[in-house]
Amino acid sequence: MTRIGVLALQGDVSEHVLAMQRALFGRGEVLEIRRPGEISGCDGLVLPGGESTSISRQLEISGMAQELKAAARSGMPILATCAGLVLVSREIEGDAKVRPLGLMDIKVDRNAFGPQRESFEADLQVEGFDRPYRAVFIRAPAIVDVGRRVQVLARIGEVVVGARQDNLLALAFHPELTEDMRFHQIFQKMLEA
């Protein structure tokens, strides 16, 4: 049975657990990952949205940052949304408080769109989708630079808001908050590969 872990240090953990359960149709187990030693037992991992400084600090304090890096290098599929996208990046623009895990060759601007009042929804044209995808952006980050190995999936204006690099799927928005499960389906294909 497929075991998907949702990193549960801070953020919208319960929303991700519910969305992933929905996506798996009962053909898998979704676990909250709170402590060292729990990541390696998973087949896939979700890094939820939340507050990236807080999650980063907890990853470092708990020693789970190293485990997460090892899991990513071993090829474990990882779905990183919003704050999760900030964490997997190689570089963060003008900010030293978050320690990026350097798993994906992207440079990120935290809160690229502004504070809470600038949160929004938008219809995205996504690579490989036959109709637009309605995405929810909450104090969202944006990818401002991508490396050669990164496949861009969606943009808003100049910035990238969805990208994939091998076993990593990074989204600046919240696929767990809408009914459209097409990004979860991509993640499922990554699990099967």
Q: Is the sign of the CA dihedral 165, 168, 171, 175 positive or negative? A: positive
- For this structure, is 174 an active site residue? yes
- What binding mask, one character per residue, do residues 97-136 give for other proteins by CB under 8 A, x or -? xx-----------x---xxxx-x-----------------
**Both tokens of residue 68?**
């997460």
Q: If DSSP codes are grouped into helix, strand and coil, which group holds residue 77?
A: coil
Q: According to the binding rule CB under 8 A, does residue 53 interact with other proteins? A: yes
Q: Which of 16, 139, 164, 174 binds other proteins (CB under 8 A)?
A: 139
Task: Please tell me the count of residues contacting other proteins according to CB under 8 A.
Answer: 18
CB 44 within 8 A of CB 70: no
**Residue 115: CB minimum distance to other proteins, A:** 4
Nearer to other proteins, 34 or 155 (CB): 34
- For this structure, is 42 an active site residue? no
Amino acid at 106: I
Amino acid at 93: E
Q: Which stretch binds other proteins (CB under 8 A): 46-54, 65-73, 122-130, 145-153?
A: 46-54
Q: According to the binding rule CB under 8 A, does residue 93 interact with other proteins? A: no
CA 39 from centre of chain: 15
Residue listed under structure tokens 């623009």: 93
- What binding mask, one character per residue, do residues 15-34 give for other proteins by CB under 8 A, x or -? -------------------x
Q: If DSSP codes are grouped into helix, strand and coil, which group holds residue 99?
A: coil
Q: According to the binding rule CB under 8 A, does residue 51 interact with other proteins? A: yes
Q: How many CA atoms does the CB half-sphere of 141 hold within 13 Å?
A: 33
Longest dimension (CA), the chain: 43
Residues that bind other proteins (CB under 8 A): 9, 34-35, 51, 53-54, 58, 61, 95, 97-98, 110, 114-117, 119, 139
